[in-house]
Amino acid sequence: MIDHILYGFSIALTPANLFYCLIGAFLGTLIGVLPGIGPISTMSILMPITLYISPASAIIMFAGIFYGAQYGGSTTSILVNIPGEATSVVTCIDGYQMALNGRAGPALGISAIGSFIAGTLALFGVMFLTVPIANFALRFGPPEYFALTFLALTIVSGLATESTIKALLMAALGMWAGSIGMDIGSATPRFTFGMKTLNDGVGIVPIMMGLYGIGEVLINVEEKVELDIFKAKIEKIWPSVQDWIQSRWAILRGTIVGFFLGILPGGGAIIATFASYAVEKTISKHPERFGHGAIEGVAGPESANNAGAEASFVPMLALGIPSNAVTAVLIGTLMIHGIQPGPLLVSNNPDIFWGVIASMYIGNVILVLLNLPLIGLWVQLLKIPYSLLFPAIILFCLVGVYSVSSNIVEIFIMIFFGIIGFLMRKFRFEPAPFVMGLVLSPIMENGFRQSLVLGDGNISIFFTRTISAFLIIAGLSVLAVHAILWIRKMGK
């Protein structure tokens, strides 16, 4: 293991990868600070650029954007009472109250330091769990992969913040979009509507840039977010001894909760922040302090969201299965480079696997150095008018999509999915299940077809193999539970 980590550092510490790690961490903090621009939008916009750098550099940069956004999101939550990221919603409760009480500095400080500690500890879990899981997954055949993708989609849909039915519909539409192109069995076009551009399928780049780039801009323009920035001087960022005493166990508990919930498909980092806050308030001797500036209410959730973000790399690297929309973009990036994430990634592409893990250690150090001394800069960035920011995002999207294939049709595809992304948010349909369905569709279809070939057309093959039977039953159980809850809700 030590040899592998040293090899990883030899990859991560090359000038190019160190540069991309720094860029990723900086951009992640920046988009975390600016409400309305998330890591998925940023990664989607930058996806065309990754075609001109190595796969390892691309994933290192995108990973930095992902966990960097968790750091930056807390700044907006504490100073503006608007979460920069969905994972920072809970931080608003006590973080903003601390700011109003003149303790914005300690709130920002414990957020950054707690995130660093949690991120570092979570990396040990990623390092020690991913390889054994990948080795176990080598026993998977087509039935197991079909069953695993089925379970992932049901869990993602079941954990939707809105309607489960809407989430299942989005997942199904995503799978349909993933099936556009040449049929893998007969090599005949399907759902192409006579457009030759679609014979190779709908590209991940225009879809992602449309859904999350154009779509986010349109919805934010309509909502017209106004920021009431906390104007008092921020001082004494380093937490006091009393702050440390109150926060030390909250950071550790948040790390544990975040890591184990982050592994689960369906945005575990978001759920982990709420779970961490609930744990801290429940076990506190003075629960009445929560909601009025309790520092544990900042330390626990902020630790949980960083641990959860890094834990989500376990199923992505070990199984090739995304646990949320961000890791789906990462998988799409690897696939664009012709690399299939999964059990063989460790042996076939050790530079990517160990390089990314080592870069996370470096990235966590960079983020602490960026967040604590540069808080004044991040506050000033909150004043950038959206009238300048959003046109720039649209320009990057247009140039980015065209630079990938020099095909103007893909620009119209991006605009189409941009409108779809806007309508999704308008009518409260979540895009994450759609993205998961899009990425998992080829894996699921191949697994299903190959399984039927192995079973001579008999569907019982999915239930005669232990692992696939367990996974399918687990997925059906998730659907059954949510069906029962839905029926009870309709009956009231």
Q: Are 360 and 306 in contact (CB under 8 A)?
A: no
Q: How many CB atoms lie within 10 A of CB 316?
A: 24
Reported residue count of the chain is 492
pLDDT at 227: 52
Tens-place pLDDT, residues 123-152 = 888 888 888 887 787 778 889 888 888 887
Distances (CA, A) of 127 to 55, 122, 218, 313, 415: 20, 9, 40, 10, 40
Higher pLDDT, 156 or 342: 342
| 350 token code pair | 């050790």
Query: How many degrees, rounded to 5, is the angle at CA 275 between CA 272 and CA 277?
Result: 110
**86 has a pLDDT exceeding 80:** no
Query: What are the phi and psi torsion angles at 129 (to 5°)?
Result: -95, -35
pTM above 0.75, yes or no: no
Full domain range(s) for residue 291? 2-491
Q: What pLDDT, on the 0 to 100 scale, is given for residue 18?
A: 92
pLDDT at residue 371 greater than cutoff 60: yes
Per-residue pLDDT reduced to its tens digit, 179-196: 888 887 777 888 888 788
- Tell me: the pLDDT tens digits for 436-491? 788 788 888 888 988 988 888 888 888 888 889 998 998 888 888 878 877 887 76
How large is the angle between the packed helices 350-371 and 55-80, nearest 10 degrees? 30
Residue 152: C-alpha distances to residues 68, 139, 336, 464 (Å): 25, 18, 22, 21
Tell me which residue of 333, 303, 322 sits closest to 263, measured CA to CA. 322
Residue 395 DSSP code = H
Task: Give residue 83's pLDDT band: very low, low, confident or very high (50, 70, 90).
Answer: low
pLDDT of 446 reads 86
Name, in order, each residue with C-beta under 8 angstroms of 334's C-beta and a sequence gap of 6 or more. Answer: 55, 59, 340, 341, 352
Name the residue type at position 296: E
More confident: 155 or 308? 308
DSSP conformation class of 233: P
pLDDT band at 414 (very low <50, low <70, confident <90, very high): confident
Helices and strands: H and E segment counts in the chain: 23, 2
Find residue 182's DSSP bridge partners.
189
pLDDT of residue 383: 67
Q: What is the pLDDT of residue 20?
A: 92
Residue 46 has pLDDT above 80, yes or no: yes
pLDDT at 278: 81
Please give the Cα distance from 371 to 302 (Å, whole number): 14
Instruction: Give start and end residues of each alpha helix (H) in 264-322.
Output: 268-283, 296-311, 313-319
What is the rounded CA–CA span in Å between residue 225 and residue 223? 6
SS (H, E, C) 364-377: HHHHHHHHCCCHHH
Residues 403-409: what's their mean pLDDT? 77
Is a pLDDT exceeding 90 seen at residue 63?
Answer: no
Domain count of the fold of the chain: 1
The one-letter code for the residue type at 381 is L
Round the average pLDDT of the chain to a whole number and report it: 81
pLDDT tier at 19, thresholds 50, 70, 90: very high
Q: pLDDT tens digits, residue range 377-387?
A: 766 766 666 67
Angle 364-78-381 from CA coordinates, rounded to 5°: 75
- How many angstroms separate the CA atoms of 246 and 147, rounded? 44
Count Cβ atoms within 10 A of the Cβ of residue 187 and give its class: 0-12 exposed, 13-18 middle, 19 or more buried.
exposed
Cα separation, 202 vs 447, whole angstroms = 21
Query: Tens digit of pLDDT for each residue in 254-272?
Result: 899 888 878 776 555 667 7
Euclidean distance between CA atoms 439 and 202, whole angstroms: 11
Arithmetic mean of pLDDT, 328-343: 82
